Structure 1
Amino acid sequence: TPLMLACTRQNLEVIQTLVEHGANPLLKNKDGWNCFHIASREGHPHILQYLLDVSPGCWDTESTIQRTPLHTAAMHGRRDAVELLLERCQYKPDSRDRCGVTPFMDAIQNGHVGIARLLLEKHQACARALDALGAQALHRAALTAQDGAIRFLVSELGVDVNGRATALQLPALHYAAK
């Protein structure tokens, strides 16, 4: 929709004009995203704040694969957006998408250690949660070659480097070799 397109930019005036003229913030695209999901990907807190003010329930949405706006903001490294979502929205800690991926895992596998810390501290995320294949964040960080995230998990959080993903019974080293 035009509102969804407007949410990919930082022009709050255009978004306000569209909403004032009847644009519906709750409409979804083919992937199940509404404009709030898109704004979370872009990470502009002033736009997210406005959308929450005019449509308080717009945060409570999942894509067709059960990803929330919190997953999306964490994946894309949008710290300001993640902070706002944690303050204003009621996401459950360790909400999982269809593959069992949590926002913490998304942050880690994309190298956003600061966001991972934030999710641990302010959202009680679990650093050892398992995805649908039994892999932890460590396995996912190894697969995407996120050295800083691996150091964080192993050195600071004490995640066992020899822990095996349950579905394939492989340690993180095997994921790194992929």
Structure 2
Amino acid sequence: MVHIGTNATPETPADGDEVCNALVWKTLVFGNTSVVCEKKIQVSSGSRHTDLFSWTTFVRALDNTDISKWVDRVVFYLHASFDGPVRIVTNPPYEITTEGYGVFEVWVRVFFKDPAFPPVQFSFVNVLADPKGVRANTIIKEIPMQVVFVCPPMWYVPLLTDKSPCPRRYASQDQFRLTDLSTVDQAKIRVLQKLDESTSGETR
């Protein structure tokens, strides 16, 4: 879980923007899918050949709503051996597809429409093949992450809570598994109650 906020509070809004005395929770899912290509690839200068994989890494909403309402862009950082290892995606679906045979750590940064909120950054090791050696049609790795917006400006709240579906399908959408809001905490607004001397912490 990542908490992000600005210096603004309901008492001291930033740049004159009225802010919401609330936390807005959003659940993102990031990861990758992978399928084995028909061709193999020769590695190094030897005669050894290995499987070549077509894989897609993505960032999406748990419920497949349109995160472009509040996300400005997503930047994917691939291994330095790739041509153009830094890939910037400014429109949904937020995904990139490429081919390769090795696993490595993928870094992702998500930038927001409100620049007062700093980007969130996370990483994961891409998965190409089943670790048990099973030759499956499609491998998928999904990691949920909750992003908590602290006291967002009032104009930003409707964008964060908009339930419009993603306007374009993700390439691997049929393989998505984390879509059931009953198994992962649903993105929600949690109104904060004003603290007083008798309150030791936030009430839920």
- Give me the TM-score of the superposition, normalised by structure 2: 0.24
Larger Rg: 2
- Give me the TM-score of the superposition, normalised by structure 1: 0.26
Higher share in helix: 1
